[in-house]
Structure 1
Amino acid sequence: MANFSLQDVKSLRERLGTGMVDTKNALVEADGDIEKAVEILRLKGAKGNAKRADRSTSEGLVGAVDNGNGTATMIELACETDFVAKGDKFVALADVVLAAVAASGASTVEEALAADASGKTVATVIDEEAAILGEKVELRRVALVSGENFSIYLHKTSKDLPPQVGVVLGYAGTDAETARSVAQHISFANPEYLSREDVPADAVEKERALVEQISREEGKPEAALPKIVEGRVGAYFKQVALLEQDYAKDNKLSVSKVLSDAGITVSGFARFKVGA
């Protein structure tokens, strides 16, 4: 006769989110020992993790927090399906991971995975929960932004899903409303750098060579090429550098002008989009 009750099965399922059959079989194998059954289920899930290692993770969520010490942390936690991404267990896992990563001050995925989370590493916590969720779960990206103040903007692309786009804007100044508006602009415009001076020189030269080649192939006059090329390089800066971009809410203004008028100086930013 089984040394466990239906209540034991129910409690264990609620605790781990496992299926009825797997839960019952684990309790049978453990002879009713709840903690032993937990280990059996986790071991079974861990073996599944190895099989899922090569699967793609195109869903998930973005989370961010002001660390209260002049830094803010943002993470992207990825999974395989939107079904798991919107589940309470995955969202709770993301909260645990974000808190641990923020507390550690990690600025890279490697540092974050090694961070402590109640006596375990973040990597172990993720692996254990992935075993229960039945999907590949990975910490894909981590950002640590410095600043006097922060505007954190998390955007849901679907009301049924957790945030899919996240922006952390570090800044000095007191106009929080404008800072939030610029954070929203970043979520839409997706700049790669803060200013044109931050764009790597080799990237600029590569772009200059490309637009020169295009201009020549278009038959532009040789004498006009320098001006045409510089104009097109300027357009490139407006695409990739935040301060050069046209402001999303009023394209007659540059982001630089909007910030200047608001007395805001940006110290840095990060933008994540799930799966991108």
Structure 2
Amino acid sequence: MKRENPYTPGVAGPPPVLAGRDEELQQFDELSNRLAEGRHIHQETILYGPRGNGKTTLLHKVTEKLETSPQIKPVFVQAPIIGTPDRLHRKLLGESPPSQQMETTRVRGNLGPLGTSVGGALETSEMTETTPEDREERCIAAMNDKPVLLMIDEAQRITGETLAAILSLTDAARRGKTKFAVIFSGTPGLPEHLKRQDATYLERAQSIRMERLDEESTRTALFQPFEEAGYKNRLNASDESRLIEQTQRYPHFIQCLLCDLGCS
């Protein structure tokens, strides 16, 4: 009977083994623990590197680990989807998309022909909506109760307006008003994109560049999933080296190559 392919077919499927990212996971574990305990942290972290190096998978792993934690709330979003400060605040608060509370038009008195007023008055409709400042204050209060680690993928596409709203929250956290940290994740141009937004706070951000895997991590990513699925590795050392060289130690290439091998 043909065994199931341990690799996820298709583009951007999560790998079965997150190899070679122990250092980054440890850094984010430390960040999460210190945030939960109210200790000093870098409020902003910039994670960047070429596409296909596993940044999104890494953030999903961090999110997965924190989802069972009673001490901290992970929030994973993509910059193009979050769009505006309003959507950002609502995401942090766990609210549904914007809706306006509308007070229906009320009529006092009697209406004459064609709607003319006879001894009465027409009250106009009232539309009430919370302001950005109100929503920010609610976020600050909520994060005091349960700290939030916000992870923004594709952050090279974040708008200046939304970035300003995020940095307003990290500034509040820095001044001890709330418990909040953010990880910006994106392509190699991310640091420059953020600099162009005149965000001076980000000069103090922690920067992490994700490179390709080393040889040993590539070997783990290549062979461990197949061995766990019950396949035998019949390659000699020379064949293994050639296969590692073929992947260029690039996680996306490993994924594509072994998906093809597993399906064949």
The answer, yes or no, to whether TM exceeds 0.5 is no
Give the shorter-chain TM-score range. Answer: under 0.3
State the TM-score, normalizing by the size of structure 2. 0.24
State the TM-score, normalizing by the size of structure 1. 0.24
Greater relative CO, 1 or 2 (CA 8 Å, sep 6+): 2
